[in-house]
Amino acid sequence: MHSDGQMLSVLGELVVDLIPVPGADAGPEGTAPTYVARPGGNALNVAVAAGRLDAPVRLMARLGTGPLAPNLRRHAELSGVDMGGFIEAAEPVSLAVVGLAPDGSADYGFHVLGAADWQWTDDELGSVLPSRTGILHVGSISSWTAPGCEAIARLVERLSADGSALISVDPNIRPMLADGPVGTALGNTTEIVRERLDRLVAQADVVKVSAEDLAWLEPEATTAEALDAAARRWAERGPALVLVTDGGAPVRIARPGHAVLHWRTPRVTVVDTVGAGDSLAAGLLSGLLASGITDRTALEALPDEELLRLVDDAALIAALNCTRVGADPPTRAEFTAARADR
């Protein structure tokens, strides 16, 4: 059950992921690998994962042009996502070409210049934000790429100031787009991206950040001790809760004035890790919403044991996603069955 009809609102980009087919013929010269086009992007993945968990969720996204746009819309619809947050945009859909290492970890090549996702305006956001938003999740490329990131930051600051919703932020750094030649073409540099994320994190109640993101944002955060220290620092920057994910290593959980906790992640056979962090975020936010934790006071009062239960569920949801190709999070029934089998 969900408190007072409130919902999770997810704001961000839609991306088509071209994922290689393992073992597929690449042609006689090895130059024609086979890919499957799968719906993706941080926001879409989070919204779909929450929808499959039966959470009331709206995806706020600018749907670009191109032959794959209807597939993105249909993917969200089939997962029970409220489609009232879609803006029909004239710009193209974003495309990511995914490379997979032997351990299932993903690398990305992006084709996103001039894409629809970074063009948000204040009026567009005002037209699609549900009045009954209990939690707003923002992050990834659209949250730190101009011009739309400014409208997103203003929305976050307004909701934070009036305390009407929990604010969740996931930096979800993509180094190619945050710096270097492609980043420069988008107007991004390391310094600019850090400044834009600082603005969001200062208003956030919940932050989910990966160890990879921390290593990019804070290059010294490469050891276990340094990650603990970074988690503590981030929890003192404004958020009431910081989760640091680190692949199959325990999740770090930091709250202001508390010791950093470590929570184990389930052991599964990993097919790939695409969408794992997004699934974990969706599991946590859906759990908070179902528990009626939709304001800062309630989050700060949440006992550690209840928080750890929610983190444990979220970690299982992420692990189940990793047993499948691409971002393919479990349904509520699949999650319930897996939890009962533990």
Q: Quick one: average pLDDT of 203-225?
A: 94
Which pLDDT score, from 0 to 100, does residue 291 have? 97
User: Is the per-residue pLDDT at 1 higher than 80?
Assistant: no
Question: 56 burial class (0-12, 13-18, 19+ CB within 10 angstroms)?
Answer: buried
pLDDT for the residue 82: 97
Residue 318: the pLDDT is 97
Provide mean pLDDT across the span 312-340. Answer: 95
Contact 16, 113 (CB under 8 A): no
| pLDDT number for residue 4 | 64
Give 2's pLDDT tier (boundaries 50, 70, 90). very low
* Average predicted confidence (pLDDT) for the chain: 94
Distance in angstroms (rounded) separating the CA atoms of residues 40 and 262: 29
- Of the two residues 188 and 98, the one the predictor is more confident about is 188
Residue 21 has pLDDT above 90, yes or no: no
Domain 3-340, CATH: 3.40.1190.20
Averaged pLDDT, 122-132? 97
Task: For residues 243 and 122, give the distance between their C-alpha atoms in angstroms, rounded to a whole number.
Answer: 29
Sorted by where each begins, the domain ranges of the chain are: 3-340
State CA 140 to chain mean position distance: 7
Sequence-distant (6+) residues with CB within 8 A of 27 are none
Mean pLDDT is lowest, of 37-41, 98-102, 114-118, 245-249, for 98-102
Lowest mean pLDDT among 100-104, 120-124, 259-263, 335-339: 100-104
Give percent of the chain with pLDDT exceeding 90: 84
User: What would the pLDDT profile of 57-72 be if each residue is shown by its tens digit?
Assistant: 999 999 999 999 999 9
pLDDT tens profile 284-308: 999 999 999 999 999 999 999 999 9
Residue 142 — pLDDT band, cuts 50, 70, 90? Answer: very high
Q: How many CA atoms lie within 13 A of 8 on its CB side?
A: 34
Tens digit of each residue's pLDDT (9 = 90 or more) over 93-106: 999 898 878 877 77
Per-residue pLDDT at 280 = 98
